[in-house]
């Protein structure tokens, strides 16, 4: 009998344990098991209310009772009937004591029940404007003039799908905020004036020296009539003794680039492969049906570099580019400037006319060039797809002319030219101070559930 | 003495037997009781996991545009599922991606001339959205894209937050009065601004069928209602009344039609999202057995866009009337048209039948929000052991919707004991 009594005692103990365990092991309410995500619901409700900026307007017009009445109706109408809310707008203050100060609050219940959750949403005043003021190139020194070749009497090549004039217009929009003066060179006569050191506008900020000249004509370069055969400066533009006589003009361009300390920019392909003047060469074409052009061939870039380095003109049409195709990528420092200036060309490009690193040599084959800015990964380790070359005479320190060459395939992406110029000169951007103090308000929507378990 | 010892031994044995039996019975009982408690707790945990999954899955669907991002505007298949409008961020949903979801509630329509079944969303009498099955996404395919096939089932529902109901309350002296009421999920849209558009079919003019269109803007009262009077409406006129209600970011729309076509009308079938091509069929070829007599329906077509200031702008597509003829077997003809834009709007097709002066107007949304069509996509949550739901407020083409996801487990478990 004792054992049966013992067992009964054991049963009583286990029953007690079960009761105690059941008492403490409380299972959650169904509402807690499968809760409506009130935080997300609150956030998405705020977004819907602000989809047409009505919430932002209301947050800054707390005295507009019509607007707030509409907001309250919209809030009630958009939430399920068993959801109650409290919407509070806080001023974001700049003080050190209290960051948020309550401005106004609306609610459809005295309390938010046992379970509630909230989301916040920052709205900005419509009166706030955000400005960025760029530093002007040349603002604190010489130069600062951008010349964009927009010559109406010349034709371009390898700018397929564009015209030089449309590219010039785009460049003007991209770069003019960064220069003290941006001047369109409207015809080859004006280009001739520039080569002669003469200003071509009435702008007090125009400076021929230390200027940047962008050739928007691709592989072609406009040539003033005066440098053509039979005209006054023929000796500087035409050499009858060589295979491509207008190679001499490219030598002059290099010479002037050094003399005036220009930065000459070639936007695509093989630099200085043709010269163009639609009046003088009206009956000559580039063998592809584009009239107004004369071929210079590969000697053009060699002659330019000779002129840049003040070497005597010696005709040489040997190629100095890698003319096969490969994909090259923007270097990390250039990608940084993409973000800084907000210019986003594709980070991978096709190189077809990368210049040989041999031009950097300081020996007899070189031109005293250094890399002012390297833009792309190398092609076959010895070819530079895009860079700004800086000319400094041996033993000197002063820069005497620079040359931006983008040896990429057609059609040109003009943003790369702009990026190259800006990354080289690095003008700073002064962003207007924008603080949340007085310009932003925090809207907090707290939701609670009523009814049910 | 020997007898007494035998009695004591027997009592002891009985005591043992009773004790062991009671102990074993009690042990089994308590194992069952504890097991039930533990299993209930496990089930609760699983239910909570489903609820968490529902919230995550809903965000996955609504915060990703899918791959390719513009799949709603193409005829291509997709490799990643998502409904977000690729031109926006956050909870803005593409009205075109939603069109490509195969409806779970509408009875599929088979069209003999193309040999295809069409996902069917039909609202009212003459408002259709029929999407061919080869372009409409299948539920099982989407579960595979989401990686939940054989583990979870779901139903996604998108319902307009604001409902705008329109009733013709009075007709007298060649004018019709409409009562327009706007209400939200839990509250009337008091003092809301209502923009409306009234399209009356003209089947008697030389360019008929065409329509006359008039616009207006009114304010509702505290119950969200307003009466609108439209003049020059005859008793047998066909018309469509479209109304938009907006208040503090909430935008909703509604429509109402009157037709006198005797079941002869034009049925629009979407044929290509990418090219905006729509096929137009005779209703007899879609809804009626091949016993009817020869019949022809003439139609024109216009695309109506809702501008940012809630004004409807017309874009004519077919200005000179064309026709579709009811035919038998393979002798069926259909017209087609191309919607020239990917801005959400309403395809308006006024039509008339031959001889009898029967006419009407068919509306088709291009971008599901244009007519605030609801969306029901996925499996059936009925008879599932546990269904977790979660909701979000979203914007679809400027119209406020509520997105609700119902999710359940397919892995099969139940409470024992």
- When mean pLDDT is compared across A94-103, A137-146, A260-269, B30-39, the lowest value belongs to A94-103
Q: What are B167's strand-pairing partners?
A: B179
Number of domains in chain B: 1
Q: What is the mean pLDDT of chain B?
A: 85
Same domain, A296 and A237: yes
In a domain, B30, yes or no: no
Identify whether residues A147 and A90 lie together within a single domain: no
Can you give the CATH number for the domain in which A261 is found? 3.40.50
| Sequential DSSP letters for B360-410 | EEEEEEESGGGGT--EEEE---TT-S-EEEEEEEEEETTEEEEEEEEEEE-
Domain boundary among A58, A92, A125: A125
Q: Please report whether residue A452 resides in a domain.
A: no
Better pLDDT: B1 or B17: B17
Domain assignment present for B31:
no
Q: Is the same domain home to A139 and A86?
A: no
**Per the structure block, which two tokens stand in for A94?**
């700049």
Asked if residue A75 has pLDDT above 70, the reply is yes
Burial class (CB in 10 A: 0-12, 13-18, 19+), A397: exposed
Å between A338 CA and nearest CA of chain B: 22
Give whichever of A357-366, A425-434, B216-225, B295-304 has the largest mean pLDDT: B216-225
Same domain, A392 and A345: yes
| Band of residue B261 on the pLDDT scale cut at 50, 70, 90 | low
Contact B232, B279 (CB under 8 A): no
pLDDT at position A280 is: 95
Contact assignment for A14 to B40 by CB distance below 8 Å = no
Characterize A67-96 residue by residue with b for buried, 16 or more Cβ atoms within 10 angstroms of its Cβ, and e for exposed.
bbbbbbbbbbbbbeeebbbbbbbbbbeeee
Domain boundary among A69, A98, A125: A125
Classify residue B141: in a domain, yes or no. Answer: yes
C-alpha B309 chain-centroid distance: 26
The reply to whether residue A7 touches residue B59, judged by beta carbons under 8 angstroms, is no
Please, which residues bridge with residue B281 across strands?
B267, B334
User: Residue A73 above 70 pLDDT?
Assistant: yes
For residue A295, give its domain range: 133-431
Closest to A391 in 3D by CA, of A382, A383, A403: A403
Is residue A163 situated within a structural domain?
A: yes
Question: What pLDDT, on a 0 to 100 scale, did the predictor assign at position A210?
Answer: 94
pLDDT at A2: 78
Residues A72, A139 within the same domain = no
- Measured distance CA(B347)–CA(B276) in Å, rounded: 11
What share of chain A has pLDDT > 70, as a percent? 95
Chain A neighbors of B248, CB-CB under 8 A: 49, 54-55, 58, 67, 70-71, 73-75
CB within 8 Å: B50 and A25: no
Q: Which DSSP letter does residue B11 get?
A: H
Distance (Å) from the alpha carbon of A43 to chain B's nearest alpha carbon: 9
How sure is the predictor about B417, in pLDDT bands with cuts at 50, 70 and 90?
very low
Cβ–Cβ of B186/A80 closer than 8 Å?
A: yes
CB contact under 8 A, B37 and A35: no
pLDDT for res B293:
63
Q: Which residue has the higher pLDDT, A26 or A319?
A: A319
Q: List the single best residue of B18, B39, B393 to mutate versus A (max A Cβ within 10 A).
A: B393
The C-alpha angle A374, A378, A382, rounded to 5 degrees, equals 110
The verdict on A153 and A99 lying in the same domain is no
pLDDT-above-90 percentage for chain B: 33
Look at A51 and B398 and tell me if their CB atoms are within 8 Å. Answer: yes
Shared domain for A59 and A144, answered yes or no, is no
Phi-psi domain of B185 (left: phi exceeds 0; alpha: psi -120 through 50; beta: other):
alpha
CB–CB of B250 and A10 under 8 A? no
Q: For position B2, what pLDDT does the model report?
A: 57
* Number of domains within chain A: 2
Confidence tier at B62 by pLDDT (50, 70, 90): very high
pLDDT of residue A251: 97
Cα separation of A185 and B144, whole Å? 61
In a domain, B356, yes or no: yes
Residue of B40, B55, B248 with shortest CB distance to A49: B248
pLDDT higher at B235 or A201:
A201
Q: Return the DSSP state at B84.
A: B
Residue B346: beta bridge partners?
Answer: B304, B365
| A405 touches A421 (CB < 8 A) | no
Name the residue among B16, B23, B247 with its Cβ closest to that of A70.
B247
User: pLDDT category, B3, cuts 50, 70, 90?
Assistant: low
- Residues of B within 8 A of A39 (CB-CB) are none
Name chain B contacts of A49, Cβ cutoff 8 Å: 248-250
A143: left (phi over 0), alpha (psi -120 to 50) or beta: left
Q: Is residue A26 in a domain?
A: yes
Same domain? For A119 and A150 the reply is no
pLDDT score for B87: 86
Most confident stretch, A71-75, A358-362, B23-27: A71-75
- Digit-coded pLDDT (tens) for A344-401: 999 999 999 999 999 998 766 689 999 999 999 998 889 999 999 999 998 888 999 9
Query: How far is A177 from chain B, CA to nearest CA, in Å?
Result: 29
Residues of A in contact with B44 (CB under 8 A): 27-28, 33
B416: pLDDT strictly greater than 50: no
Among A73, A108, A123, A451, which would you mutate to test the B interface (most chain B Cβ atoms within 10 Å of its Cβ)? A73
Highest-confidence segment of A408-417, B3-12, B20-29: A408-417
What confidence score (pLDDT) does residue A434 get?
62
Together in a domain, A89 and A184: no
Strands B387-396 and B92-93: parallel
A236 pLDDT band, cuts 50/70/90, is very high
Share the mean pLDDT of chain A. 90
Average pLDDT over residues B31-60: 87
Q: Is the predicted pLDDT of residue A147 greater than 70, yes or no? A: yes
CA angle B60, B65, B68 (to 5 degrees): 125
At residue B415, the pLDDT reads 44
Between B23, B30, B395, which is nearest A48 by CB? B395
Residues A183 and A43 in one domain: no
Examine the pLDDT at B61 and tell me if it is beyond 90: yes
Position B112 in a domain = yes
* Mutant choice from B26, B250, B387, B388 vs A, greatest count of A C-beta within 10 A: B250
Interval B130-186: pLDDT, tens: 999 999 999 999 999 999 998 999 999 999 999 999 998 877 778 889 999 999 987
pLDDT beyond 60 at B330: no
Are A45 and B393 in contact (CB < 8 Å)?
A: yes
Beta strands at B152-160 and B334-338: parallel, antiparallel or unpaired:
unpaired
* Residues A174, A82 within the same domain: no
Nearest CA-CA distance, residue B280 and chain A, Å: 36
Label the pairing between strands A145-149 and A181-185: parallel
A436 pLDDT tier (thresholds 50, 70, 90): low
Question: CB B26 to CB A7 under 8 A?
Answer: yes
Domain carrying residue B125 = 95-410
Q: Are residues A289 and A169 in the same domain?
A: yes
């Amino acid at each position: 009998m004792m054992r049966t009594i013992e067992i009964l005692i054991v049963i009583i103990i286990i029953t007690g344990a079960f009761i105690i365990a059941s008492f403490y092991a409380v299972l959650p309410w169904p509402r807690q098991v499968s809760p409506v995500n009130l935080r997300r619901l609150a956030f998405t409700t705020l977004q819907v209310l602000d989809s047409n900026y009505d919430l932002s307007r209301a947050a800054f017009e707390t005295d507009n009772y019509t607007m707030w009445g509409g907001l309250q109706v919209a809030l009630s109408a958009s939430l399920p009937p068993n959801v109650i809310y409290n919407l509070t707008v806080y001023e974001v203050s700049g003080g050190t004591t209290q960051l948020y100060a309550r401005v106004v609050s609306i609610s459809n219940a005295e309390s938010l029940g046992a379970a509630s959750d909230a989301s916040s949403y920052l709205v900005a005043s419509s009166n706030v404007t955000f400005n960025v003021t760029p530093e002007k190139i040349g603002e604190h020194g010489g130069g600062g003039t951008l010349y964009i070749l927009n010559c109406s009497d010349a034709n371009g090549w390898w700018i397929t799908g564009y015209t030089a004039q449309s590219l010039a217009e785009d460049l003007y929009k991209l770069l003019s905020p960064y220069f003290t003066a941006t001047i369109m060179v409207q015809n080859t006569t004006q280009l001739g004036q520039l080569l002669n050191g003469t200003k071509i506008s009435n702008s007090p900020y125009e400076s021929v020296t230390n200027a940047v000249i962008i050739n928007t004509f691709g592989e072609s370069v406009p040539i003033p009539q005066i440098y053509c055969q039979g005209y006054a400066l023929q000796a500087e533009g035409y050499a009858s003794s060589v295979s491509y006589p207008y190679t001499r003009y490219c030598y002059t361009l290099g010479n002037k680039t050094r003399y005036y300390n220009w930065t000459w920019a070639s936007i695509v392909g093989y630099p200085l492969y043709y010269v163009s003047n639609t009046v003088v060469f009206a009956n000559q074409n580039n063998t592809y049906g584009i009239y107004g052009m004369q071929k210079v061939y590969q000697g053009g870039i060699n002659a330019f570099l000779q002129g840049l380095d003040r070497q005597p003109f010696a005709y040489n049409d040997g190629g100095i580019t890698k003319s096969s195709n490969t994909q090259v990528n923007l270097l990390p420092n250039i990608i940084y400037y993409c973000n800084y200036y907000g210019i986003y060309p594709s980070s991978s490009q096709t190189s077809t006319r990368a210049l040989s690193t041999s031009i950097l040599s300081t020996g007899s084959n070189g031109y005293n060039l250094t890399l002012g800015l390297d833009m792309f990964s190398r092609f076959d380790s010895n070819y530079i797809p895009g860079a700004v070359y800086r000319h400094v005479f041996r033993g000197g320190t002063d820069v005497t002319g620079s040359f931006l060459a983008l040896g990429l395939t057609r059609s040109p992406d003009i943003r790369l030219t702009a990026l190259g110029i800006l990354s080289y000169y690095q003008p700073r951007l002064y962003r207007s101070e924008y603080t949340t103090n007085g310009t932003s308000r925090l809207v907090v929507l707290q939701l609670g559930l009523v009814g049910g378990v | 003495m020997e007898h007494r010892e035998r009695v004591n031994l027997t009592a002891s044995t009985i005591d043992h037997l009773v004790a062991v039996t009671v102990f074993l019975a009690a042990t089994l009982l308590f194992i069952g009781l504890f097991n039930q408690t533990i299993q209930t707790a496990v089930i609760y945990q699983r239910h909570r996991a489903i609820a968490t999954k529902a919230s995550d899955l809903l965000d996955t669907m609504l915060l990703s545009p899918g791959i390719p991002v513009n799949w709603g505007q193409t005829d291509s298949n997709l490799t990643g599922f998502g409904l977000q409008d690729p031109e926006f961020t956050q909870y803005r949903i593409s009205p075109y991606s939603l069109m490509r979801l195969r409806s779970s509630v509408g009875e599929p329509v088979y069209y003999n001339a193309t040999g295809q079944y069409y996902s069917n969303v039909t609202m009212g009498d003459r408002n259709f959205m029929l999407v061919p099955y080869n372009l409409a996404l299948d539920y099982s395919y989407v579960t595979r894209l989401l990686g939940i096939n054989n583990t979870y089932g779901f139903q996604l529902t998108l319902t307009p937050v604001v409902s705008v109901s329109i009733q013709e309350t009075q007709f007298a002296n060649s004018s019709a009065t409409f009562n327009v009421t706007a209400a939200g999920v839990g509250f009337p849209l008091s003092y809301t601004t209502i923009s409306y558009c009234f399209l009356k079919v003209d089947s008697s003019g030389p360019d008929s069928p065409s329509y006359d269109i008039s616009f207006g803007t009114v304010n509702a009262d505290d119950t969200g209602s307003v009466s609108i009077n439209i003049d020059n409406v005859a008793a047998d006129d066909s018309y469509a009344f479209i109304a938009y209600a907006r208040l503090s970011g909430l935008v909703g729309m509604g429509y109402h039609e009157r037709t006198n076509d005797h079941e002869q009308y034009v049925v629009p079938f979407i044929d290509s999202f990418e090219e905006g091509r729509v096929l137009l069929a005779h209703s007899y070829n879609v809804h009626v057995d091949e016993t009817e007599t020869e019949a022809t329906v003439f139609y024109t077509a216009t695309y109506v866009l809702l501008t940012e200031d809630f004004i409807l702008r017309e874009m004519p597509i077919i200005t000179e009337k064309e026709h579709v003829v009811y035919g038998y077997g393979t002798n069926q003809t259909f017209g087609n048209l191309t919607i020239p834009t990917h801005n959400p709007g309403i395809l308006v097709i006024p039509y008339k039948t031959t001889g009898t002066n029967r006419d009407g107007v068919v509306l088709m949304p291009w971008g599901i929000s244009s007519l605030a069509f609801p969306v029901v996509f996925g499996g059936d949550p009925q008879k599932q052991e546990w269904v977790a739901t979660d909701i979000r407020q979203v914007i679809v083409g400027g119209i406020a919707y509520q997105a609700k996801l119902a999710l359940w487990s397919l892995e099969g478990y139940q409470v024992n004991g």
